[in-house]
Homo-oligomer: A and B are copies of this chain.
Amino acid sequence: MSSSKSKSTLALLDAPELTYNHSTANISELCTQIRGQARDIEYTSDPALCIPKSNTRHSPASSSQVPLVIFYPKSTADVSVIAKACHERYVAITSFGGGTSLGGALASTRGGVCVDFREMGRIVELHEEDLDIVVQPNVGWVELNEYLGPKGLFFPPDPAPGARIGGMIAMSCSGTNAYRYGTIKSWVASLTLVLADGTIVKTRNRPRKSSAGYDLTNLVIGSEGTLALVTEAVLKVTAVPKNLSVGIASFETLQMAVDVVSKILKSGHLLEAIELADQESVGAINHSKLTNTDFLELPTLFLKFAGSTATVEAQTQYVERLCQEHGVRSLEISSEKERIDVIWGARKCLGNALVTMKKKDSDLFLSTDAAVPTSKMARLIEESVRIVESSGRGWFCANVGHVGDGNVHTAIVCPREDKRDAEKLLSQIQRLALELDGTITGEHGVGLKLRDLLIEEVGDEGVDMIRKIKFALDSKGILNPDKVVRLGVEI
């Protein structure tokens, strides 16, 4: 029989007990030690700065979960010095970039220190001929595309506008471009990592593909800072899409809209983006007055086309015919800049529009991030609405989908005091996604909130395999502890 040590997995009950030393004396000596080794590293222990580092959008951390010090490294070597010292001294490390993650991924559950990448936001080197670019983790994707645009180049992953490359990698982000271009996993050639004990690993040079050894790059992408700190990335880029057109199509039923999408996916036509908004979402856009047009409050597809003029023409003709065949109520496709801004602007403002459905400032805005096979999308949305309605609370509920890859955000607006009940409904929707052969999170990650549902997705075995890897690479559990999987029963 096998001892727990020789097993390929690590159950929670077999996990070693974690010991941290966050005493004032140890943290103070840590700072002295780190500055002794790398005198350029600035740091602060100002609570006004420390407290927000642990907060996550829409879900502030508990007041006890605050980093004691923030370090501002300037280089991979600096980060290595910090990790090595924390490893020696049993100090937990969280890290911070754009702060746009959801679900508690930033929470300093054990206290400890925060590595803020503020000083590592440099574009290191563009290789225009090779279509790749070397960047530090605190470069934002919006800023990156502002730099690349004039050169005719483009980096596709498009999560929340404030997101930075480091966090995007940590959370395995995507966005509206993922259907066409793939998630961030398709756009990272290699990473420079600092492991828990300070070891520096460069996962590759700059080849566009490689089968040399385990895929350390993709192991770290989506590991939410629990396996390594990413200090540099080689990103792939591509040509800016040309001849942009956008379309908006309204249908009587969700199923009709999804049927159109399903046909497009099977047709071989590769559009730029295919997004779905249900009628409540369109209602929220109208209600928000964030656009100067009123849209038909029906299940709606937002479509983007690009390529050679001939390609765009072929695609738009195909989509027009398809929409007509599926009883579209209203369809507009336009290549005029002004209409593009209005139509795509409506899709882009959706997140903010939904927030305007709050009745009181204190109301909560909560959402899911399930992804299911295309054929199950309509059912996921319809049943999600039914689940929320059946609560009889009259909460606002709307669904937005990256329908091209089956990712749906069901949003709820509810009074703050109903948080727990609302979260229960969201869990029901996430479970429904699993029943429909999907995932609990398409692009936002597990963080603290989805750890128990992750067990329902990949089984105890899957979670225990993840925990085994976690403890192998970070035996003391110092890197962003408690995220993705539980390390101890108490947190």
Contact = CB atoms under 8 A, between A and B. Distances in A.
Interface in A447-471: 450, 454, 457-459, 461-466, 468-469, 471
Contacts of A427: none
A358 interface: no
B88 A2 contact: yes
Given A152-B266, A172-B215, A201 B443 contact: no
Given A209-B407, A439-B205, A216 B310 contact: no
A172 B211 contact: yes
A171 interface: yes
Interface stretch (A60-68, A234-242, A412-420): A234-242
A10 to B, nearest CB: 9
A195 interface: yes
A189 to B, nearest CB: 9
Interface in A348-406: 371-376, 405-406
Contacts of A200: 461
A472 B469 contact: yes
A265 B182 CA distance: 17
A284 B219 CA distance: 41
Nearest to A473: B8
Interface stretch (A111-119, A124-132, A332-340): A124-132
Interface string A202-234: 111111111111111011011100010000000
A9 interface: yes
A231 to B, nearest CB: 13
B202 A375 contact: no
What class of interface size applies to chain A in its complex with B?
A: 35 or more
Interface in A21-68: none
A462 B203 contact: yes
A411 interface: no
How many copies of the polypeptide does the oligomer hold?
A: 2
B202 A458 contact: yes
Contacts of A310: 308, 310-311, 313-314
A485 interface: yes
B178 A209 contact: yes
Given A130-B374, A215-B221, A373-B130, A239 B268 contact: yes
Given A242-B268, A371-B207, A222 B215 contact: yes
A212 B475 contact: no
A87 B8 CA distance: 10
A235 to B, nearest CB: 13
B240 A475 contact: no
Contacts of A213: 222, 446, 454, 457-458, 462-463, 466, 484-485
A444 interface: yes
A269 B221 CA distance: 29
Contact of A315 (B308, B405, B406): B308
A475 B182 CA distance: 35
Given A440-B212, A442-B210, A473 B465 contact: yes
A197 B472 contact: no
Contacts of A267: 239
Given A182-B182, A374-B130, A208 B172 contact: no
Given A199-B465, A212-B454, A213-B454, 8 more contacts: A6-B197, A6-B475, A152-B266, A203-B462, A205-B434, A205-B438, A208-B371, A213-B462
Interface of A: 1-2, 5-9, 87-88, 127-132, 152-153, 171-174, 178, 182-183, 185-186, 195-197, 199-216, 218-219, 221-223, 227, 238-242, 262, 265-270, 307-311, 313-315, 318, 371-376, 405-407, 434, 437-446, 450, 454, 457-459, 461-466, 468-469, 471-476, 484-485
9 contacts: A129-B375, A174-B211, A209-B443, A210-B441, A212-B450, A214-B484, A219-B469, A268-B307, A465-B473
